[in-house]
Amino acid sequence: MMTMMMQIRPHIGISRLMVVVGAVVLLLLLQGRPAEAQPSPGYYPSSKVSSMPFSQWYTNLWGAQHQSLSPDQTSLTLWMDRSSGSGFKSKRAYRNGYFGVSMKVQPGYTAGVNTAFYLSNNEVYPGYHDEIDVELLGTVPGEPYTLQTNVYVRGTGDAHPIVGREMRFHLWFDPAAAFHHYAVLWNPDEIVFLVDDVPVRRYQKKVEATFPEREMWAYGSVWDASDWATDGGRYRSDYRYQPFVSGFKDFKVAGCEVGAPASCGPVPAGPGGGLSSQQTAAMSWAQQRAMVYYYCQDSSKDRSNYPEC
C-alpha cells in the first residue's frame, strides 16, 4: 500500500506518509473498539420491586387523548403535538420510597420536548411545593439527549428566579434506541437517582431547609419546555416533526404511603441500607464519564441560596 501511495503522491515524504498511515490505523482501531462497559453496581434496587399494571397505581392527569395504554396495562405511550402534551399521576401520596419506570424517547429533532418522571406536591402546596425530577430533555440531530436531575424544596421551583439544584448528564447510551430504567430513591436522609440501577447522583440531607420532607405523588409527562430545555431555549419545539412520542413501562413503586404506620421503614439504597462501596464506585464512574453540569460548580449561582454546597 505504501508503494502505491508513493506512486500516486511522490512528493509526500516517507516520514509524513508514516504519520498519515499511523493516524488512519489508529482511527480504524478506535472505530472498532466497543463502548466502555457500564460497571456493575453490585446491588439492583429495581429487582427488589415488582412491576405493576399502570392502572393499579396510576391514573391519567391531563391530555387523555394523547395517551395509549397497552391491553395488558404494562406499557403506556404518551405523545405531544401542537394541541397538547400528556401526563399521569400516582393514585397515592408517599412520604418516602422507591419510584421507577422504564422510558424510551423519540429520535430525531425533539428540541424543547421534556419527557419527565418526577415526584411533586404542587397540587397540595401551589407556589410553595417540593419536587424531585428525572427529565430527558430533547435535542437536535447529532447532539445527545440530556438527562436532568433536579430537586426543589419548599417553593424554590416557584421562586423568581428559580432556585434549582440541577445535575445533568449525557448518558453512556442512546435513550432513544431502547428502554432504560430511571428511578428515584427518596429516603429521610438522602435522595438517590438511578439509571439502570447505577446510582448517578446522591443528594444528601445536609441542611434542614434544603431537603424535601412533605408527602409527594409520582408523576410522568411529556410537555413543551421550549423556553429552557434545549441549549437554554436556543432550540425550540418544531411541530413539523410532531407527534413527539415517549414510552413508559415497568412501573415500580415501593415505599411508605401517607398514613402508613411508624413501623414502615425506608427502602434501602444498598445491601447494608446505604450505598455500598461498589455502588459508590459506579456512581463516580457515571459522574466522571457522563456528568456535564452540577449546580454547586456553577460560579454564576448565588451561593447564599445553596448552603448545602
**How open is the CA angle 99-271-189, to the nearest 5 degrees?**
55
Is 131 catalytic? The answer is yes
Label residue 24 exposed, middle or buried (CB < 10 Å: 0-12, 13-18, 19+): exposed
User: Under the phi-then-psi rule, with left for phi > 0, alpha for psi from -120 to 50, and beta for the rest, what region is 180?
Assistant: beta
Residue 189, C-alpha cell as written in the block: 436522609
State the amino acid at position 75 in one-letter form: S
How far apart CA 242 and CA 227 sit, in angstroms, is 18
**Of these residues, 131, 190, 215, 308, which one is catalytic?**
131
State the amino acid at position 47 in one-letter form: S
Residue 245, C-alpha cell as written in the block: 412520542
Classify 305 as helix, strand or coil. Answer: helix
Report CA-CA distances (Å) from 133 to 79, 99, 124, 167, 242: 19, 11, 17, 10, 25
**Of these residues, 36, 123, 135, 213, which one is catalytic?**
135
Is 135 catalytic? The answer is yes
How far apart CA 281 and CA 275 sit, in angstroms, is 10
State the amino acid at position 304 in one-letter form: S
How far apart CA 145 and CA 142 sit, in angstroms, is 10
Active site residues: 131, 135
